[in-house]
Structure 1
């Protein structure tokens, strides 16, 4: 949510998610079209309990996908229906689950659907499993109903990461055993001594056995990571942790075997291992949650197309398409290869490949380019003119090899910290051993072990992961979701911000340049225009239908509207011909004095002209200006027409020299390399940005409803605003400063602790107090430095506030 300290008194908060409404937004009640659409559905369908269950933790809603194809679903449903038994079952991945409210909403929608038998959701993994009575349940209809609320479904591919299952189990075991070892240690501190005989020996043996289990169970992740780092020649951060665990355990083992369990550091060792595991769990928790928020993407293997085989229609992976295959492209489906249209006409959009936002019409015999989407309302037939192996999509969909790409070379800071920490700790321990050797091996070893214990890297192992977790959680509430482990380490290096145009700085849809035109229409013209526009899927029609519906336009179910491809829509009503379409559409003849924009005609007389433009993100101008004021060079890099790119650059205040249009995917990648791949952030939404993604220092996308790109991104955005991008840059710098302060505090503490050890004043009891005390201090400092209070939420159309619900 918004920070009250940064929220102006006149700023509105979104009724759905509570985020700040960007200046210039089409509505002062919602931060984005997604939140507005979802809120409207929740209210109209009586599902407002959703707001009571969110507890004020809702992120901005993704805009419901329009015309999304479900070709991947058909073979899964067919297989489920063919299985024996009275009930059919199907497991699917879900994108967009935030909390328990999402689970309730999906279950409620399933309950209202006839024929359903059972529905369970795993919100931690982002999976849903449904059961239904054969032939009595519309699976596709149910999925489309749920996707109307901003969720997306896909084939079941998500699998829990091994670490996400492993760490909680290890942590639970270590916490339980550590608590017992601490109880035994208390008895040593209050006076239990070797003279007490069997009880002292029993407590010593129990502490040793339990500590051995803690070292084996809890220390293994650090041993493995440290060894892997040494094999690569990189002293990993886990190396000092692993060395500390082994050396302290070894020395304590010697003390216990010698009958001096009261001189061992078992309680400190167990606490240290447990705290390190907590830090490791914090480090991965939010990243795992963000990754599971999206559908799993495996490139071309996750894309399907329908292929006609004789009199059968078979759904196959796009990688199986061969030349001369007869393809059936359903509405919303992808054309995977260059093909020739066989039907009379088709309407397609190629923005995913070229960046050009406009839909265009293709006639029979004309080529359908690979990467186009069927934007019409009917399926069309096409003849593949190449195999998928020859398709231009292959290079754009490929995944970079594991371990390569942007993250390489950006861990030098932590490598340096780790290397110096290891060398310093070992050198100081050796110094303590040498200085106290004349006093006897036992005393020298005690001092050396004390040095290893009190110089534990708590700031690295606990406080630093906590700092990253706090920043990631704050950004998630703002609609900025991090997927790459080291993104926050790379963001402070960003000096250039490179934007694609369509779908990135713009919203990929049209908007009215002058709303007063709609408001000035009389009732008859308003209703006619609405009934014409609402019966077309063209972006212009969708824009007009939405604007007219806000003015109270009425829908006429029995209206007979005819679409004239390339011209517009016509409705003969009461002997009067109403037309909505091209400005030069007057009885099929162009006119020099035709009004500009999309025009409503009554017979051949112009009634109103609707000037349209690409919808810009509401805060784009402000954010671009702010980025430039903060010293970032802003570039526009687009496949759209150069004139359009320059026009947008002028409106945003970007120099024309930094606005590049008409670029192919290869050109974009070369441009990123030329400008500097070591300090550039790239934000794009189409597969034509794929190669540029691989060249930039970091890359992200706002297009989570399209395949491939979210899986290649370091981060993704939810909502219509761009403010979270600048917030991420700011918080990454703040995080960098906090981490450096943590290291400074750790060094200061260790200087004092080393001095205490070298003079021989450190005992197991003092170490047991000092180590957790410093860990607690660094944690509190981190929380104080990075925590931000949440802004109070407004009532959502009379709904209870979350605070009232929780009370």
Structure 2
């Protein structure tokens, strides 16, 4: 929703509720205005808003693109949206979480930058030593390196040191323990050698270790955190509050959290339904995509049930709350998503699983090397040097880069094909699937109705329907308006009846376009979804509408079926709407009319049976299922919450992005496995050489860096291919 339109749709009561009291009788409203770009913008906005009735002060923050407006409560909320729109700016209510940063990601990036800068400088000083600097000059370069390395280790190494300390405190080990020991021992030995004027010091080795490992740690964290906003996005669909009619007939605005069952609520067109309720009076159309996934408006009348979070489109309603907000449909969806996200934590990174065995082996090898050389040579300095070399040369740098570097390359390949990766671990899970489940509306189909041309009818009546339909935003009316050039008729009046249709008058003739039954003046079937045209109560034409298949749907289903995947449709739409699509695509497993909890339950049933499902869906109602599935994909046209909940988002209209993503994930999986094999082979060769004393800490650091480069080079082999998914699945 664009800023100005979002702000304009809020009532004065909602603006009041979103503001905060800053002094007696004085309130403040914070707005986000993305269009602010210069000092001229600041002056124009502050002057325009400052002239509004009741406004005492308007302050613009250029860096955050925010506007704080102070206004007198007794004069009511000022028309902020109109003023901003008049200046050509979009604006919307500012929410603190919008600008919230990820502190851990910021800390990792800063640590990475410091380690990279320090590593370059220390390596530059080391080149002079390698080139023959000796005596006091060499010692000076070593002390300069120590002066750079010490604060670098204290700042950048904190990421690993804290993790290692926490693990050791609880009597366990992890990948950060050998990293920390190797880095600290290398620095300590280098500092000792500098003090006693030894020819070699290995400050560059300790800092380079941090730099390479922080690259992998930062990339891994960034990918994992991208998909954590789905529940927050769903929460934004909740209404701020509602107008409650008290028993004595008074109207008062009540925050959503304070609504209780039995309260009578007045709902205007454009309002979101705050809690689960039943209609008492009025007729309207409801956008129930949140609940059913069906993009077509749902007509409601007295007695109809309403779910929290759905949108009232066309008419005013009087409703009675049947549940408190904490027990409403929207709250249940949020709980489902939170529970499903929590259950996903058992998917560990491959590197983390390997580290459980890796760390004890490295520690044991270093300790045995130290003890062996102490017994054999009796030189503690030489024994410690060899132990440090063992720790460094076997440091899991390549192991740490094995997964994230391949994931980055796979993400690039997918991005160039129009597929966005929300969660790096999803590629690992995508390889494991055996079932693909599709939503219908907006996924297998485009979610836009169109007129069926195979149904015979008089095109003159279609032109009249197009002329009438052009006066409504209802999807069916728009489909008719787009189906034919409108008739050259100037109707005297055209009026829209909420939940029923359009009525047009010309002279003595009355034309009606809308629901069957209403157009002829007969009984209204609340389950009717057809559209008809009548003149003076006589039916003249019925229109059959259908949802167009998404491009590439049929080839995609065929390709997935050929690869042995089980294919299902799981939709909230009616069976009458789902079965024709399933028949056209040859899909036999079909479930229709499912609510979000039922979709999630079906996925859980499949999981208990040992199946791993890919969920492809776009609707608000699909969000819990997208999170609960083993892995999930949503089209770019999906609702915001659906895109946030999915692991992948494809931006192109062609459904072929789904099998293409599977092919890339398969190749990425092979490259990750190859990287682990390379890391193991490297250690098989390097470890005996280090234990035998043929490797100094400097050579160990170079070898460790070489193994990392080898892993990265192998990851670079995952290059983007053309759209055909089998090309992406060629042998690595």
TM-score under structure 1 length normalisation? 0.73
Q: Give the drift of 1:358.
A: 4.5
> Which stretch of the first structure deviates more once superposed, 353-362 or 600-609?
600-609
- Partners of 1:64 and 1:502 in 2: how far apart? 27
1:280-429 paired onto structure 2 within 5 Å? 280-285=217-222, 296-297=232-233, 299=235, 302-308=238-244, 313-314=252-253, 316=255, 318-355=256-293, 358-364=296-302, 366-371=303-308, 373-398=310-335, 405-411=342-348, 413-429=350-366
- Partners of 1:521 and 1:320 in 2: how far apart? 54
Contact 1:406 1:697 in 2 (8 A): no
Contact 1:305 1:334 in 2 (8 A): no
Q: 1:696 to 1:640 in 2, by over 3 A?
A: same
Give 2:150's match in structure 1, choosing from 195, 209, 212.
212
1:8-47 paired onto structure 2 within 5 Å? none
Gaps of 5+ in 2: 50-57, 72-77, 524-528, 724-732
- Partners of 1:226 and 1:397 in 2: how far apart? 35
Q: Give the drift of 1:267.
A: 0.7
Q: 1:224 to 1:718 in 2, by over 3 A?
A: farther
Give 2:436's match in structure 1, choosing from 490, 497, 502.
497
Q: Which residue of 1 aligns with 2:496?
A: 563
Give 1:681's match in structure 2, choosing from 614, 617, 628.
614
Q: Give the drift of 1:288.
A: 5.2
- Partners of 1:729 and 1:69 in 2: how far apart? 43
Q: 1:200 to 1:554 in 2, by over 3 A?
A: farther
Q: Give the drift of 1:266.
A: 0.7
Contact 1:338 1:370 in 2 (8 A): yes
Q: 1:584 to 1:733 in 2, by over 3 A?
A: same
Say yes or no: does 1:732 pair with 2:665: yes
1:464-479 paired onto structure 2 within 5 Å? 464-476=403-415, 478-479=417-418
Q: Give the drift of 1:273.
A: 0.8
Give 2:711's match in structure 1, choosing from 754, 764, 778.
778
Give 2:720's match in structure 1, choosing from 781, 788, 791.
788
- Partners of 1:290 and 1:140 in 2: how far apart? 36
Gaps of 5+ in 1: 1-61, 95-101, 591-595, 792-807
Contact 1:496 1:679 in 2 (8 A): yes
SS of aligned partner of 1:493: coil
- Partners of 1:474 and 1:503 in 2: how far apart? 25
Q: 1:612 to 1:277 in 2, by over 3 A?
A: same
Say yes or no: does 1:628 pair with 2:561: yes
Contact 1:703 1:710 in 2 (8 A): yes
TM-score under structure 2 length normalisation? 0.80
> Which stretch of the first structure deviates more once superposed, 247-256 or 728-737?
247-256
Q: Which residue of 1 aligns with 2:585?
A: 652
- Partners of 1:664 and 1:86 in 2: how far apart? 45
Q: Which residue of 1 aligns with 2:392?
A: 453
Q: Give the drift of 1:387.
A: 2.6
Contact 1:348 1:372 in 2 (8 A): no
- Partners of 1:263 and 1:353 in 2: how far apart? 69
Q: Give the drift of 1:180.
A: 2.8
Q: CA RMSD in A?
A: 4.7
Contact 1:396 1:687 in 2 (8 A): no
Give 1:486's match in structure 2, choosing from 425, 431, 439.
425
Q: 1:637 to 1:129 in 2, by over 3 A?
A: same
Deviation readout 1:631-650 (Å, 9 max, x if unpaired)? 21111223433444333322
Say yes or no: does 1:753 pair with 2:671: no
- Partners of 1:555 and 1:283 in 2: how far apart? 63
Deviation readout 1:528-586 (Å, 9 max, x if unpaired)? 433411323332113223444xx588897x86213356653232235544433346677
1:31-110 paired onto structure 2 within 5 Å? 70-71=9-10, 75-76=14-15, 90-92=30-32
Contact 2:571 2:594 in 1 (8 A): yes
More relative contact order in 1 or in 2 (CA 8 Å, sep 6+)? 1
Deviation readout 1:130-177 (Å, 9 max, x if unpaired)? 46898564269859x999xxx998733231011222122222222332
Contact 1:354 1:664 in 2 (8 A): yes
- Partners of 1:381 and 1:169 in 2: how far apart? 55
- Partners of 2:397 and 2:168 in 1: how far apart? 21
Say yes or no: does 1:614 pair with 2:547: yes
- Partners of 2:486 and 2:37 in 1: how far apart? 32
Say yes or no: does 1:192 pair with 2:133: yes
Contact 1:72 1:315 in 2 (8 A): no
1:163-182 paired onto structure 2 within 5 Å? 163-182=104-123
Q: Give the drift of 1:779.
A: 2.4
Deviation readout 1:431-484 (Å, 9 max, x if unpaired)? 543554423333333222222222232323335322222323443454544444
- Partners of 2:319 and 2:244 in 1: how far apart? 10
Q: Which residue of 2 aligns with 1:156?
A: 96
Q: Give the drift of 1:502.
A: 3.4
Q: Give the drift of 1:493.
A: 1.3
- Partners of 2:362 and 2:714 in 1: how far apart? 24
- Partners of 1:494 and 1:726 in 2: how far apart? 12
Q: 1:733 to 1:701 in 2, by over 3 A?
A: same
Contact 2:369 2:383 in 1 (8 A): yes
Contact 1:299 1:398 in 2 (8 A): no
